[in-house]
A and B are shown apart, each in its own frame.
Chain A
Amino acid sequence: MARKVIVHVGAPKTGTSFVQELLFGSRQRLMALGIGYPADRFDAHFLAALDLMQLTWGGLEREAVGAWDRLASQVRAWPDTAIVSHEILATASRAHVARALESLSTGDTEIHVVLTARDLVRQIPAEWQENVKHRRIVKYADFLAHLQDPSRQQGVASWFWGVQEVPDILDRWGSTLPREHVHLVTVPPAGSPPQLLWQRFSRVLGLDPAEFVLEDDVRTNASLGVAEAAVVRRLNEQVNGVVPNHHYRAIVREALVHQNLSRDRRSARLSVPPDVWTWAADLSRTWVTELALRGYDVVGELDDLLPTEPLPYADPDHPDIDEFADAAVRALTAMTVEAARLRDREVELQHDIEELIDKLDAAHSTPIYKLKERAVARASTSRFAAKGLGVYRRLRGRNSRST
C-alpha cells in the first residue's frame, strides 16, 4: 500500500486549533493505528509552516530555523499515514506548495490536501478579532473596507484572502493532485453539535470519531463580544511600542483574552453590517458554484459555506458605552488579579533565593572551603602558591575560578 500524507492547510478560525490539540494529544493512539502526527511540541507544525513560508511572527520565527525540513524528513520516514496540520499553510504560494509537496513525498506517496472551511460571514469578524488579539489596532470599518478593496493591497487584505479564499487555496494546493485527493471539510452552521466537525474531519483521516473522546479542555479559540474586542483594540493602541511581544502574548492574549474576556462574553456577538452581509453572501454563492464544478471530495455540505440569516449588527468601533465600561472594568480586574498572582510568585521566588543563599553560606563555612579560599588568596601574592594552584587545577581537569 502506498504511503499517505494528509496535509491539513487551514483555514484559520475553522476549528483547526481544536483538531490540532486532539491530534497532538492522541499521538500514541494514532501511532497504534499506523497514523503519524510528528510533533515534539504543540506548535511544531506552526513553526514548520513559518519556516516554509519564511514568515515572521513576533519573534517566534527564531525558533523555526530548519523546522520544515525536520518535519518533512519525519513525515518521509513514517511508513504509513502521516498528518501535517497548520492553518497558516492556507496562504502558501504555488512555489511554497510545490516545495512542500515535493519534500513530503518519497515517490510512492499519496498526498491528500484537506481544507476546513466556514462561511465567509462568520470568518470576517473572526479574522478581525484574531487581528485584534495579535495587537493590531485597525478599526473594524477600515478592516471591512480593506477586504472589499479589489486590489487587496491595503492593510491585512492580502493575508485575509490568502487564508480565506477557499477556491483559490484549493487551487494552489490541489492543482497538481487528483481531485479526489483534495478534501473540503465544511464547518457546520452555528449551533451544530461541536462533535460534528471532528466527525467530518476524522472521516478524511479514515478514523472512527467515537474512538477519540473530546476532552472538555481541548483548546478552542472562544470569541470575544463586540465590547470586549473594542476594549482589547483600544488597549493595543496604548501598549503597542511599550509591551514587548513575549509579554503581550502572556499577559494580554493569554491571561486577559483567553482566560477571561472570551470566557465571559457579555456583549453582543460580533457580526457584519447589512451591506457587508449582502456582499459576502454574493461572494459565497460564487465560491459554492465554482467549488461544485471542481469535483473535490466535499465532506459536509457546500451550502454550509453560505451564510445564515444576518445577526443584529453592533458596531465595535462605536460600542455601547455601558457594555464597553463593563468590559473595561472586567479587563482591569483580570489584570489586577494577574498582577497579584505574579507578585505572589515573586515573593515565593524571593523566599527560594533566601533559602539558597542560606545553603550557600552554610557550604562556604566549612573548614575545607575556607582552606581553599586562603589558598586562592595566597596565589595572588605568591608565585609559588599560584604555581601550586595551577597544578591542582590541571589535575582536577578543569579550570575553575571559584576555588
Chain B
Amino acid sequence: MDPQDEAAYAGRVRAWADHLRDGSRQTWTEFLGTPAAPADDRGGAPLPGAAQLELVRRLADADADLPRFADLADLVLTTAGPGRGLVDTPLPWPSSRAVGTPPVEPDRLPAEELLRASAGVLARLLAPEADLAPPRPSRPWRPWRRGFTLLGAPTTVELVRTALLERGLREGGARTTWFVLGGPLEDLMAQRWSARVRAGAGLRWQRLWRTSATNDRLPPGIALASIAQHVADEFDPSRVHVVLTDDPTTTLARVSEVLGVPGGPLEPRADVLATDLLRRVNPVLGLAIGDVARRHVVDRVWPQISAGEQTAPLGAPLAHLDWAIAAGERMAGALSSARYAVHGDPAIVVPTRRAGVRRAPDPDDVLAHALVVVGRAWRRYTERQP
C-alpha cells in the first residue's frame, strides 16, 4: 500500500467511524458501496481496528435508543482490545498491506474478538463504580429469632438467605440450624463457577471441570456430603439438614418448613452468559482498579450484568461426563447413608447423558448478552456523569 493509498484507506475508515457514531448500522461492505467523500485522514489518533468499529455497529443494532451514542462510540473506538488476540485488524481494501494482521470483514470477525473489545469497554465503564462506597449489609440483632446457616450451592444460598432474612430470621448464632443446599451436580458446578468468577477468577467452564476431574475431587464448597458430614461431626447431627431440589422455590419451601416460617416463590437465576462475560472482564477491571475494588464493583453491578438472561443450564463437558456421573453417584451414595436429615432424593445429584444440552457457553450468545450489558452500563455511566 503506497502512502497515497494508505491516506485514502485511513480517510475512508474515519468516514465510516463517523457514520457509525451517528448510529448507522451499515456494514463496511455496504459503506464502501456508497459514494466516497474526499479522503480525510486527520491523523493524530490511531485508526480504530475492525473489532472496535464492528462493536459500535452492533451496539447501535442492539439498542437504537442508547443515550449520547456518539460519546459511547468514541469510547469504544478509543479502547484498545485488552489481552491476547489479533493486533489492529484492518478492514478489507483493494490494496492491502503486505505485513500485519490480515484484513477481515468486520461483520465476519470471530465473536471472541468482539468480546475482547467489549471486555475493554465494560472495564472502562465499570471502573468509576469503584469510587462509590460499598453497600453495608444491615444485620439487625435479633437473638430471640431462630438462627439458620446456609452452605452449599452458592446462588441458591444467596436467594434463600435473602428470603429468610426478609422473614425476620437471623443468620448464625449458637443454636443455629445448618442447611446444606444442593441439587443436580451440573447445576452445583454452574453455581460454583459463577461464584468463583464473581470472586475474581478468569476461569472457563471447561477448566473448572477439567481441574475437578483431574484431581478427582469436587470443589470443596459444593461437596455436599463432606460439608454436611463435617458440620454433623462438629455440632449436633440433628441440626443438620441437606436439602436437594432442582429449583430454589422448592428449596426455600423445605428450609422454611424446618424453620417454621412461610415459604414463597423465588425466581431461578440463569447466569451462564453473564459469568462467561464477567470472566473476560475480570482481569481487565482488576488491572484498572485493583482486586479489592473490583470485587466491590462486581458485587454492586452483578444484578445488571446477569439480568434478563434466559439460558438453559450448562451440562458437563463431554470429556468429563463419565467422571461427573461417577462423582455424582459417589455423592448420592454418601448422602443416602448419612446420619443427618436429607430432604429430597439424593439421586437428583447424578448427571444424566441427556442429548441436546449445551456443554459450554456459545461465544455468539455471550456476545449478544455483552451488547445488552454494555448498553446498560452505558446508561448507568451517563446517569452518573451527565
Q: Interface residues, chain A, CB within 8 Å of chain B?
A: 50-51, 53-56, 61-62, 64-66, 91, 93-99, 150-153, 158-159, 161-162, 165, 167-168, 171-172, 240-242, 286-287, 290
| Interface 9-mer from B42-50, B233-241, B343-351, B355-363 | B42-50
Q: Is B88 an interface residue (CB 8 A)?
A: yes
Q: Is B173 an interface residue (CB 8 A)?
A: no
Q: A54-B287, A55-B82 are known contacts. Are A168 and B100 too (CB-CB below 8 A)?
A: yes
Q: How long is the Cα–Cα vector from A253 to B80 in the complex, in angstroms? A: 31
> In the complex, what residue of chain B is closest to A153 when comparing beta carbons?
B110
> In the complex, what residue of chain A is closest to B202 when comparing beta carbons?
A56
User: How many B residues, CB 8 Å from partner?
Assistant: 38
> In the complex, what residue of chain B is closest to A96 when comparing beta carbons?
B80
Which of B78, B123, B210, B287 has the most CB atoms of chain A within a 10 A radius of its CB? B287
Q: A56-B202, A91-B87, A95-B80 are known contacts. Are A62 and B291 too (CB-CB below 8 A)?
A: yes
Q: How long is the Cα–Cα vector from A95 to B79 in the complex, in angstroms? A: 8
- For B202, list chain A residues within 8 Å (CB): 56
- Chain B contact residues, majority secondary structure: loop
Q: How far is the CB of B211 from chain A (nearest CB, A)?
A: 4
Q: How far is the CB of A11 from chain B (nearest CB, A)?
A: 13
- For B49, list chain A residues within 8 Å (CB): 93
Residue of A64, A240, A290 touching B99 (CB-CB under 8 A): A290
- For A99, list chain B residues within 8 Å (CB): 80
- For A162, list chain B residues within 8 Å (CB): 87
Residue of B47, B80, B215 touching A242 (CB-CB under 8 A): B215
Residues 282-293 of chain B, each 1 if its beta carbon lies under 8 Å from chain A, else 0: 011011111100
A64 touches B287 (CB 8 A): yes
B287 touches A241 (CB 8 A): no
B46 touches A94 (CB 8 A): yes
B287 touches A93 (CB 8 A): no
Q: Is B85 an interface residue (CB 8 A)?
A: yes
In B58-117, the 8 Å CB interface with A consists of 78-88, 98-102, 104, 110
Q: A65-B286, A93-B49, A98-B46 are known contacts. Are A55 and B83 too (CB-CB below 8 A)?
A: yes
- For A286, list chain B residues within 8 Å (CB): 98
Q: Interface residues, chain B, CB within 8 Å of chain A?
A: 45-47, 49, 78-88, 98-102, 104, 110, 120, 123, 202, 207, 210-211, 214-215, 283-284, 286-291
Q: How long is the Cα–Cα vector from A55 to B99 in the complex, in angstroms? A: 24
- For B290, list chain A residues within 8 Å (CB): 65-66
- For B86, list chain A residues within 8 Å (CB): 152-153, 158
B82 touches A53 (CB 8 A): yes
Report the tally of A-B residue pairs with Cβ distances under 8 A. Answer: 95
Task: Given A54-B123, A93-B88, output 14 extra A-B contacts at Cβ < 8 Å.
Answer: A50-B287, A51-B287, A54-B82, A54-B83, A62-B291, A65-B286, A65-B287, A93-B49, A94-B47, A98-B45, A158-B84, A168-B87, A171-B99, A171-B100
- For B286, list chain A residues within 8 Å (CB): 61-62, 65
State the 4 A-B residue pairs at the shortest beta-carbon distance, nearest first.
A54-B82, A94-B46, A95-B80, A168-B100
Residue of A97, A161, A241 touching B46 (CB-CB under 8 A): A97
A158 touches B87 (CB 8 A): yes
Could you name 19 residue pairs across A and B whose Cβ atoms are closer than 8 Å? Answer: A56-B83, A56-B202, A56-B283, A62-B286, A64-B287, A65-B287, A99-B80, A151-B104, A161-B101, A162-B87, A167-B98, A168-B100, A168-B101, A171-B99, A240-B214, A241-B211, A241-B215, A287-B99, A290-B99
- For B80, list chain A residues within 8 Å (CB): 53-54, 93, 95-96, 99
Q: A54-B82, A56-B202, A91-B87 are known contacts. Are A165 and B99 too (CB-CB below 8 A)?
A: yes
Q: How long is the Cα–Cα vector from A50 to B98 in the complex, in angstroms? A: 28
- For A61, list chain B residues within 8 Å (CB): 283, 286-287
- For A96, list chain B residues within 8 Å (CB): 80
> In the complex, what residue of chain A is closest to B208 when comparing beta carbons?
A241
Q: How far is the CB of A102 from chain B (nearest CB, A)?
A: 11
Which of A51, A64, A161, A290 has the most CB atoms of chain B within a 10 A radius of its CB? A161
Q: How long is the Cα–Cα vector from A151 to B202 in the complex, in angstroms? A: 26
Q: How far is the CB of B289 from chain A (nearest CB, A)?
A: 8
Q: How far is the CB of B299 from chain A (nearest CB, A)?
A: 19
Q: How long is the Cα–Cα vector from A64 to B82 in the complex, in angstroms? A: 14
B101 touches A150 (CB 8 A): no
Q: How far is the CB of B90 from chain A (nearest CB, A)?
A: 11
Q: How long is the Cα–Cα vector from A394 to B386 in the complex, in angstroms? A: 50
- For A159, list chain B residues within 8 Å (CB): 84
- For A242, list chain B residues within 8 Å (CB): 211, 214-215
A165 touches B100 (CB 8 A): yes
Q: How long is the Cα–Cα vector from A162 to B101 in the complex, in angstroms? A: 8
- For A161, list chain B residues within 8 Å (CB): 87, 101
> In the complex, what residue of chain B is closest to A291 when comparing beta carbons?
B99
> In the complex, what residue of chain A is closest to B102 when comparing beta carbons?
A150
Q: A54-B120, A152-B102, A153-B110 are known contacts. Are A172 and B287 too (CB-CB below 8 A)?
A: no
> In the complex, what residue of chain B is closest to A56 when comparing beta carbons?
B283
> In the complex, what residue of chain B is closest to A54 when comparing beta carbons?
B82
Q: A61-B286, A61-B287, A98-B45 are known contacts. Are A168 and B84 too (CB-CB below 8 A)?
A: no
> In the complex, what residue of chain A is closest to B77 when comparing beta carbons?
A95
Residue of A53, A62, A153, A165 touching B83 (CB-CB under 8 A): A53
A172 touches B87 (CB 8 A): yes
> In the complex, what residue of chain B is closest to A239 when comparing beta carbons?
B214
> In the complex, what residue of chain A is closest to B286 when comparing beta carbons?
A62
Q: A61-B283, A62-B286, A151-B102 are known contacts. Are A93 and B110 too (CB-CB below 8 A)?
A: no
- For A94, list chain B residues within 8 Å (CB): 46-47, 88
Which of B78, B82, B87, B288 has the most CB atoms of chain A within a 10 A radius of its CB? B87
- For B45, list chain A residues within 8 Å (CB): 98
Q: How long is the Cα–Cα vector from A362 to B15 in the complex, in angstroms? A: 81
Q: How long is the Cα–Cα vector from A287 to B99 in the complex, in angstroms? A: 8
Q: How far is the CB of B47 from chain A (nearest CB, A)?
A: 7
Q: How long is the Cα–Cα vector from A96 to B80 in the complex, in angstroms? A: 7
Q: How far is the CB of B93 from chain A (nearest CB, A)?
A: 16
B84 touches A152 (CB 8 A): no
